[in-house]
Each structure stands twice: as structure tokens, then as C-alpha cells.
Amino acid sequence: MEDSKETIEFWKQKRDEIGKEIILKSFVRFIGESGKGQYDLSGLLYASEERVYFEDFEKSSMFDFLIKKSKKQYEKFTMNFLVSDTSEIRKVSESSAIACAEGAIEKAKKPGIIDSLLKSTIWEISFKDGYSYFFEIFESKELVKLINNEQ
């Protein structure tokens, strides 16, 4: 399937913004950060060889056009981190990722057999200084290779 003109232009703009070639991209759901609470943001994760970027996009539904409601102004959320600051990436259960983000437990647990079969795979990206980010990543293979320094 070929990318549309708009998609090609979007990724060219992102490449120009970061000044590096983008080597991977995926839709993701950012669950949260260890001890800092849940975010539950949908967005794009993309990376150069040195840095990983995330940016959310505004959620909307067909009802937004039908019902005028006073909702708070959307504020874009972005973040990025150096690959060299990471220590590992591993699969964890969604419930333990949420508990870890909310500070109820210190370390997320690997998914059990039932979680692996019936629920979304959540990835914990751990950093050398002890904190972690939790993502549901739809195209994870390249990110796992990047963080685990696999060629």
C-alpha cells in the first residue's frame, strides 16, 4: 500500500524537524510513566538511530460534530528520549503496567499465558536511572531491535 501525498509530506516534515532520518514509526498508546500516573494517550512513536519521539493526537468521534459540548482545549503532548539512556525493553501485563504507573507496585510483571493470548501486549521501556515508560506498540519489532542494540 502506497503512502498518500499528505503522509509522505508529514514524514518529510518530521524528518526535517529532527534533522535525522526516521528509521521506525508506529501507532502507539502511551499508558504512563512509572510512579507518575496514567496518561492513556494515542499517538505516533517514531525514531532516529539516537532518539525516540512520541506525540499524541486529539481524540475525536463522530458525535463531536453532532453535540456541542464544552470540553477543555486540547493540548498536544510530546516527549522524546535518547536510546542510549534506555536499559531494556520487555513485554509486561497491562494491569501491572498501570499499577506501576500509578505507584502501586515498583516493577511491572511479565504477562501470563492468558494475558498473552487475550490482551494487548504492553512494552516497558526501562531507563538506566530506574524509571520506565509503558506503551502498547503496534509495530514493535524495530523498536525492540533499536533499544536492545540488535543489528
Q: Which domains does the chain have, with CATH numbers?
A: 5-147 (2.30.29.30)
Q: Do residues 110 and 124 lie in contact, with contact meaning Cβ atoms separated by under 8 Å?
A: no
pLDDT score, position 117 = 65
pLDDT score, position 66 = 59
Smallest Cα–Cα separation from 105: which of 93, 115, 116, 88? 93
Place of cell 518529510: 12
pLDDT score, position 75 = 84
pLDDT score, position 21 = 95
Largest CA distance in the chain: 51
Smallest Cα–Cα separation from 140: which of 98, 103, 90, 93? 90
pLDDT score, position 58 = 81
pLDDT in tens, the chain (151 residues): 567 899 899 999 999 999 999 999 999 999 999 999 888 899 999 999 999 999 998 876 555 555 555 556 778 899 999 999 999 999 999 999 999 999 999 889 888 776 666 667 899 999 999 999 999 999 899 999 999 887 5
pLDDT score, position 67 = 59
Helix%, strand%, coil% for the chain, nearest 5: 30, 35, 40
Rounded to whole angstroms, the Cα distance separating 130 from 49 reads: 22
